[in-house]
Amino acid sequence: MDKKKENAKKQIPLRLSSSLYNELAAWAEDDFRSVNGQIEYLLTECVRKRRRSKSQSSE
């Protein structure tokens, strides 16, 4: 697969409650990230943990 296509970012609409958005915004600020960057970071970490747990359970 073409590297550019592989690394292209997809845009998705995301609806969050005000309280969740405010929590994410504060957390992002603590970590010196944008809210979008924080959400992407958190989702990436969750996917990594899921992959690790799947590989460990199949051993």
Please report, as a single letter, which amino acid is at residue 10: K
The residue count of the chain comes to 59
Tell whether the torsion through CA atoms of 51, 54, 56 and 59 is positive or negative.
negative
pLDDT tens digits in sequence order for the chain, 59 residues long: 567 777 899 999 999 999 999 999 999 999 999 999 999 999 999 999 999 998 888 77
Query: What does the domain layout of the chain look like in residue ranges?
Result: 18-57
pTM: 0.79
